[in-house]
Copies of this chain bind each other. A is one copy, B any other.
Amino acid sequence: MADLEISTLHASLTDRALNSMNFLNEISHHYPEAISLAAGRPTEEFFDLDDIPRYLSRFAAHLRERGLDEPTVRRTILQYGRTKGIVHELVSRNLAVDEDIHVAPEAIVVTAGCQEAMLLTLRALRADATDVLLAIAPAYVGITGAARVVDLPMLPVPDLDELLAVVKAARADGLRPRGFYVMPDFANPSGRRLDLATRHRLLEIAAAEDLLLLEDNPYGLFPAAGVDRLPTLKALDTERRVVYLGSFAKTGLPGARVGYVVADQTVSTGGLFADELSKLKSMVTVNTSPIAQAVIGGKLLDCDFSLTAANQREREIYADNLRVLTDGLAARFPGGEISWTVPSGGFFVVVTVPFAVDDALLTKSAREYGVLWTPMSHFYDTDAPVNALRLSCSAVTPAELQVGLDRLAAFITDQLVLST
């Protein structure tokens, strides 16, 4: 007999979202030789272990320049530290430079990756069983999972045009929509970005309906070749309707696990929403590793706060790969048997096929064809079959991409035969 019955543990542990993440991790470990068009990890092309001491030294020098004595410099990096973080001022400057977002450092909570920023925000916003979170379907698995962990139900919004209707229907059902989670730039998994008019419209709805927008922006610095960036929701936000979820995993260094949340909303207690999130953080992770923060802080100082400039080479890699991916699909499927998105940036392309794509097919693709991808069904909160899969082009070389596409084409072609 087992020591613990799963039925006596928290319901999220049997939920699709948490097991989905687990399954996807496991399959990639199980087929290490397969080419992965599944992983959304950043390129490892420029990884350099020597960067870490270099960034640490840069950050320590910055502390000295600010007048801190040696014991205080050492304490800042090596001791327990401020719950809201030690690189908040540097993050604030980076947001001004890269995003034209102007917020007080005190409105920023530095987190153990963007995932903790999501978790803290959803935990704060879930007061009772009537609270719900809205999100575009398909949605990033990380937000669905974080919502499950804090017992916050999610209502899918199939299309932005329906947002208002979903809000009103939820209210009619006695529910309290707390926020709308959205990735306006090159979303995971859809690859879509919202046009400027839609961004303004979203802010209008947020104001009219007294709704927070939870803006997640991991991919904004990576538009496709020739595509200009659009302002983030937070840059357009004049009424503090946007909670901005920030990540350095793709633009800084994933191994630092440093993210942040901008929460400049005022709270009736007199402080900022960031201060409430900080209280929660003190009971979740106490503070974000100051060593890890110093690495990111050093990188921000090193690039004079412009991660856009620091990621020029990465941007070109992703833009090239995205072109190779969509051109490669066009070359291999000239006849219209399948369709795919041609995103204006980011890491992800969605391929629609005339058959349901499930985990069994992924396992078959990995085992028999040597190529990994992600069933789009993982990004929906229902058991309904989904005829689509997500391809990622961030963690492969163009040559691997070509081989991966050959394998994928063979797999899809075989499936097309089987499904007719």
Contact = CB atoms under 8 A, between A and B. Distances in A.
Which one of A5, A7, A74, A268 has the highest number of Cβ atoms from chain B below 10 Å of its Cβ?
Answer: A268
Interface stretch (A17-25, A95-103, A354-362, A365-373): A17-25
Contact of A78 (B44, B151, B267): B44
Interface of A: 2-13, 17-19, 21-22, 25, 41-42, 44, 47-49, 52-53, 56, 60, 71, 73-75, 77-81, 83, 112-113, 115-116, 119, 123-127, 142, 145-146, 148-149, 151, 176, 178, 240, 249, 253-258, 265-269, 273, 276, 278-280, 282-292, 295
A291 B53 CA distance: 11
Nearest to A41: B80
B124 A13 contact: yes
Contacts of A278: 22
A18 B279 contact: yes
Given A79-B254, A268-B6, A113 B286 contact: yes
Contacts of A253: 78, 291
- Describe A's contact surface by its main secondary structure: helix
Which one of A4, A266, A280 has the highest number of Cβ atoms from chain B below 10 Å of its Cβ?
Answer: A4
B285 A257 contact: yes
Contact of A284 (B41, B77, B119): B119
B284 A295 contact: no
B49 A11 contact: no
A266 B10 contact: no
Nearest to A14: B269
Nearest to A83: B25
Given A73-B49, A254-B80, A268-B2, A124 B10 contact: yes
A75 to B, nearest CB: 6
Contact of A3 (B41, B267, B289): B267
Contacts of A148: 283
A117 to B, nearest CB: 10
Nearest to A152: B10
Contacts of A41: 79-80
Contact of A119 (B18, B73, B176, B283): B283
17 contacts: A3-B273, A4-B273, A9-B127, A9-B267, A10-B126, A21-B282, A25-B83, A25-B282, A44-B78, A49-B78, A52-B77, A112-B285, A115-B285, A148-B283, A256-B289, A289-B289, A292-B292
A258 B290 CA distance: 11
Nearest to A210: B3
Which one of A78, A249, A278 has the highest number of Cβ atoms from chain B below 10 Å of its Cβ?
Answer: A78
Contacts of A142: 283, 286
Contacts of A12: 123, 279-280, 283
Contacts of A292: 257, 289, 291-292
Given A4-B276, A112-B288, 10 more contacts: A22-B278, A25-B282, A44-B71, A47-B79, A53-B53, A112-B257, A149-B283, A151-B151, A257-B292, A291-B295
A145 B278 CA distance: 13
Contacts of A71: 44, 47
Nearest to A70: B49
Contacts of A256: 289, 291
